[in-house]
Amino acid sequence: MKELFAILSLIVTLLSSANSRAVGRSEEILSLARNGDKNAQLKLAIRYLKEERNVPEAIKWFEESDKNGSIEAKGYLALFYLQGNGVTADQKKGMSLLNDAAEKGDPYSMCLLSLAYLEGAGVEKDLQKAQEWEQKAANLGNTEAQFNLGMHYLNGIYGTNNALAIDWLEKAASNNDTNAQKNLAILYMKGEKVAKNESKAAQWYQKLAESGDEKSMVKMAKLYSAGIGVPEDKKEAFKWFHKAAMLQNREAQSAVGYFYESGIGVEKNNEQAFYWYKCAADNHDIEAMLNLARCYSLGIGTDKDCKLAAQYLKKPAEKGIAQAQATLGALYAMGNGVEKDLATAHMWIYLASQSGNSDDKEMLPKLESMMSNDEISRSKEMADKWLASHKKSTGS
């Protein structure tokens, strides 16, 4: 029989998040708790648990609240006994408390009990009981249960029913469950197990973006840029890229640089383009490194500096980006920003030519005509070593 610990550790925050409402002044809560107010006792227990990390005191007040009829407190106590947190682990007592809390109408305990039956953890595995408890919790508005029920129908755990799956996911998403929102956005965008609806997908991505999800901000920027699910609007695209960039999203930082350089959705500004390319490059974005190297090479938005251009080209070149390899090779051939080295120049241009660019291939004989046999041999040795290392690292 599987341990219940792994399941509970994933959702132990359910009860805490559900009951972490404003609890008023400590003195008022303590006074009410001492006078037997079960809600005050529950709030005091949660405060000891979450804010003061005092498990013994938390358990003491959960027990008092439970004695006075709080089903939420009973659900907490079940978790303590199941996990052996602050008390001697007692799976039988924990499951009894959990079942009692669920029977008395606590939706969070219902959700936990459903997962226990689903996994056969602490009880015999029973999909029918799992579904029944999950359904009850979902009907009471528990968003975790609504999301789980939707995903379980979607994945055939209770028998495949795509219509019910989408219905429950929609309910959870409307209750601000971000996992449901993300799944719906993906399903509607791809048209998987539901009719494709780019407009609905965009609506959920928009909601996620507005709630601060940076990846959804980037997604909305791309949708506005391409006019997918929303009217094409470069200004809106820039807005969302910029919001995500401010959250240190490197893809967005690189895109903001491109928008500024190109004057797309915003007034052209090379200095701002350089700034955002550098932010993204320093945040390890390969494409931004290429653009930043180009800015340094040509003096776009900054002073011309071939040495820095070469520095920012090295990582993309090592990653196998042909454009970076060819440009870096040219810098070595001319001695711009780096010490002139025809063998290294030849190596990088040869590696770039492996991507099929005819211009790079045509450069090789010209370089070789200026190289000694030793330089050609050294270039081949370095190229073979790079290819072997790259093949090993990529598994290709």
pLDDT in tens, the chain (396 residues): 444 444 444 444 444 444 443 344 578 889 999 999 999 999 999 999 888 889 999 999 999 999 999 999 999 999 898 888 889 989 899 999 999 999 999 999 999 999 999 998 888 999 999 999 999 999 999 999 999 999 999 999 999 899 999 999 999 999 999 999 999 999 999 998 999 999 999 999 999 999 999 999 999 999 999 999 999 999 999 999 999 999 999 999 999 999 999 999 999 999 999 999 999 999 999 999 999 999 999 999 999 999 999 999 999 999 999 999 999 999 999 999 999 999 999 999 999 998 877 777 888 999 999 999 999 999 999 999 999 988 766 665
23 domain-assigned: yes
Count of structural domains, the chain? 1
* Residue numbers of the domain that contains 90: 1-140
33 domain-assigned: yes
8 domain-assigned: yes
Cα 38 to chain centroid, rounded = 39
14 domain-assigned: yes
367 domain-assigned: no
CATH code assigned at 128: 1.25.40.10
31 domain-assigned: yes
Q: What is the DSSP string of 252-320?
A: HHHHHHHHHHHTSSS---HHHHHHHHHHHHHTT-HHHHHHHHHHHHHTSSS---HHHHHHHHHHHHHTT
Q: Are 352 and 374 in contact (CB under 8 A)?
A: no
114 domain-assigned: yes
Residues in the chain: 396
Name the residue among 41, 21, 46, 20 with its Cα closest to residue 31: 41
130 domain-assigned: yes
